[in-house]
Amino acid sequence: MDRLHEELKELKRRVIKMGELAKEMLRNSVEALKKQDIELAEKVISRKKKLADMDAEIEEKALQLVALYHPMAKDMRTVACILKAITYLTRIGRYGKDIANIAKELSDKPHVAKLVEIPYMAEMVCRMIDDALKAFETEDISLIKDFEERDDSLDALRWSIFRECITYMMENPSTITRCAHYMMIARYLERCGDHACKIAEKVHYMVTGERVEIK
């Protein structure tokens, strides 16, 4: 079983690496939007394949471990957590790619109200992804104990951005396209926060054997 534990440790390291990539794709996409940096947006888009490759490699290795070692209890929960986490991380990276595409589209248009609260919302989400990954790596579930409150804050911020954008659109119809994109980005970021919560739920189950739901 020592061999299994060594391989699980290595697999967890790969998940952390994949998580860092997904988070950076998201963070850089918002940075590209903020700075109107087409080159950075292109870089985010180009990393989609690397993310997909990591997803496939980790999944394959996890299934090999099940076939070879027939893990039980905590070890099996770890494998299950890994398989779920890489799915959520792939989705986060894809939202980063989607935001990067919007960044390219809006690169020649002035920002409305300094992008409302989108950069702040993105930082909140990235901190949640960070803490979910840290909890996964260290098995310290205190890092994720306040995720329900943080998720509520994200939801409230998304609706605040929505209302603010509607106001700008009504006052000045020339902002409609840009504000519609901002509203979509806020939705994407909210979904990324939801994925961080799902990872946190799986980590909690991995560590304790108890299922929780972060609403």
SS3 166: helix
Q: Is 209 left (phi over 0), alpha (psi -120 to 50) or beta?
A: left
Provide the residue type at 178 as one letter: R
User: Does residue 64 register a pLDDT over 90?
Assistant: yes
Tell me the average pLDDT of the chain: 97
Average pLDDT over residues 20-28: 98
Kindly list the distances between the CA atom of residue 1 and the CA atoms of 6, 68, 70, in Å, as whole numbers in the listed order. Answer: 9, 11, 10
Q: Percent of the chain scored above 70 by pLDDT? A: 100
User: Does residue 27 register a pLDDT over 70?
Assistant: yes
CA dihedral over 92, 95, 97, 99, signed as positive or negative: negative
Domains and CATH numbers, the chain: 2-208 (1.20.58.220)
Each residue of 88-145: pLDDT tens digit? 999 999 999 999 999 999 999 999 999 999 999 999 999 999 999 999 999 999 999 9
Average pLDDT over residues 153-164: 97
User: Does residue 1 register a pLDDT over 70?
Assistant: no
Whether 88 and 195 have beta carbons less than 8 Å apart is answered as yes
Q: Percent of the chain scored above 90 by pLDDT? A: 98
Q: Which of 80, 112, 94, 82 is nearest to 182 (CA)?
A: 112
Q: Which of 212, 214, 172 is nearest to 197 (CA)?
A: 214
Each residue of 191-209: pLDDT tens digit? 999 999 999 999 999 999 9
User: Does residue 174 register a pLDDT over 80?
Assistant: yes
Q: Tell me what pLDDT residue 215 has.
A: 79
pTM exceeds 0.85 for this model: yes
183 Cα distance to chain centroid:
18
Q: What contacts 91, CB < 8 A, 6 or more positions away?
A: 191, 192, 195
Whether 133 and 92 have beta carbons less than 8 Å apart is answered as no
Average pLDDT over residues 148-158: 97
